[in-house]
Amino acid sequence: MNTMTDDLKKTEPKTPPVTVGQETYEKHDQSKSDVRACITVDHYDFFYGKTQAIYDAHFVMPEKQVTAIIGPSGCGKSTLIRNINRMNELVDGVSHTGDIRIYSQSIYDPQLEVTELRKRIGMVFQKSNPFPKSIYENVIYSLRVSGQNRKSILDEVCEMSLKASALWDEVKDRLHQSAMSLSGGQMQRLCIARAIANRPEILLMDEPCSALDPIATAKIEELIYELKKDFTIVIVTHNMQQAARVSDMTAFFYMGNLVEFGETKKMFMSPEKKQTEEYITGRFG
C-alpha cells in the first residue's frame, strides 16, 4: 500500500541531511544509531497574511518515536502540526519559507499530490469528530473514498484498526451502530482507528486528550505507546506530565520560536534554557 513511501526511501538521500542545531538531539542520535529522521523542519517560517506565526523552526523528528510539541497558548503548536500535512493551506493568505520534509521529500514538492501526502499522514484533533455513520463506516471511510468496496478487505481493516486503537473489545458486537452512541474517550479512539486505517506513516495528534477524563486519557496514552511501534507520532499537549510520559523527544515553542528541542527525559530533568524550565515547572504559560 505504501509504494510511494518505499520509492521515497529508496531514493534517499536526495537532499543533504540537515544539521540539527541542538546538541541534545545529536547525543540522542548517536546513542541510537538506528534512529532515522522522519520529519525534518528546515528553517521554517510561516505567515498568516503578514502575521508571522513560526520563526525559523529547525529540528528533526525521529522515525517511530513520539515527539511532543509543547508551549503556551498561541505559540504556534497547531500551526506547525497542521503544516506537516499541509492543512493550513486551506486558510486564505498563508505563506511560508524554508521547508518541511518527510524522509527526504519536501512536502511542497510539486510532484507530490496533497491527497497523497495526507494519505501518508493521519491526523487526530482535540475534539473527536466521528462522522454521523456507523462505527464500521467511520473506520473504513478512507478506503471507501479510494474506491475499495471488497467486504473481506474492509472487514479486515476495520478489525485491525479497532484492535490497534484498543477499541475492538468494546465495540465488536455493535459495529453497525452509530458512532454517535460512543463515549467521548471511545469516539477519540475511533478517530485514531480511522486515522490509521489506511496505514499512514505519521500520526499527528493535536491535544487528543484535552476533552477526556483521566481514565480515557490513560487509555490513549497506552495506545500511543503501542502505536509508535508502527508510526511516527507528533503530539501537541498542554499537559506536561503527558508529554513526559508519552514522548521520546520534546520541542518547546514560545511565541513562534523553537526555544529548545531534545530528548524528553533530559529536557524535563535538566533543560538547557531557563525559559523551558519555567514553563515545564508551571511558572509561566
Ligand X SMILES: Nc1ncnc2c1ncn2[C@@H]1O[C@H](COP(=O)(O)OP(=O)(O)OP(=O)(O)O)[C@@H](O)[C@H]1O
> Would you count residue 199 as binding ligand X (CB under 6 A)?
no
What CA–CA distance (Å, rounded) separates 142 from 148? 9
- Cell numbers describing residue 25: 538531539
184: partner contacted, choices ligand X, Mg ion, none (Cβ within 5-8 A by kind): none
Nearer to ligand X, 74 or 184 (CB): 74
Nearer to ligand X, 78 or 232 (CB): 78
Taking residue 207's Cβ as centre, other Cβ atoms within 10 Å add up to 19
> Would you count residue 48 as binding ligand X (CB under 6 A)?
yes
> Would you count residue 33 as binding ligand X (CB under 6 A)?
no
Q: Which residues pair with 249 in a beta bridge?
A: 67, 263
**CB of 109 vs ligand X, minimal distance in Å:** 24
Residue whose C-beta lies closest to Mg ion:
78
Of 210, 249, 221, nearest to 165 by C-alpha is: 221
Of the CA atoms within 13 Å of residue 38, those in its CB half-sphere come to 25
> Would you count residue 53 as binding ligand X (CB under 6 A)?
yes
> Would you count residue 125 as binding ligand X (CB under 6 A)?
no
Binding residues for ligand X, rule CB under 6 A, total 12
53: partner contacted, choices ligand X, Mg ion, none (Cβ within 5-8 A by kind): ligand X
Residues that bind Mg ion (CB under 5 A): 78
Nearer to ligand X, 166 or 251 (CB): 251
What CA–CA distance (Å, rounded) separates 138 from 62? 30
Q: Which x/- pattern, by CB under 6 A, does the window 89-118 give for ligand X?
A: --x---------------------------
**CB of 77 vs Mg ion, minimal distance in Å:** 5
Question: Coil, strand or helix: which one is 169?
Answer: helix
How many residues does this entry show for the chain? 285
Question: Coil, strand or helix: which one is 138?
Answer: helix
Nearer to ligand X, 93 or 147 (CB): 93
Taking residue 206's Cβ as centre, other Cβ atoms within 10 Å add up to 20
Q: Report CA 270 to chain centroid distance, whole Å.
A: 25
Cβ proximity of 203 and 237 under 8 Å? no
Region for 232 from its dihedrals, namely left if φ exceeds 0, alpha if ψ lies in -120 to 50, beta otherwise: beta
Identify the DSSP state of 179: G
142: partner contacted, choices Mg ion, ligand X, none (Cβ within 5-8 A by kind): none
Residue selected from 37, 41, 61, 75 as contacting ligand X according to rule CB under 6 A: 75
> Would you count residue 77 as binding ligand X (CB under 6 A)?
yes
Region for 49 from its dihedrals, namely left if φ exceeds 0, alpha if ψ lies in -120 to 50, beta otherwise: left
Residue selected from 79, 138, 165, 217 as contacting ligand X according to rule CB under 6 A: 79
The reply to whether omega before 72 is within 30° of 0 (cis) is no
Residue selected from 74, 127, 155, 163 as contacting ligand X according to rule CB under 6 A: 74
- Cell numbers describing residue 200: 499512514
**CB of 271 vs Mg ion, minimal distance in Å:** 22
Nearer to Mg ion, 65 or 78 (CB): 78
**CB of 71 vs ligand X, minimal distance in Å:** 6
- Residues of this chain that interact with ligand X (CB under 6 A) are 48, 51, 53, 71, 73-79, 91
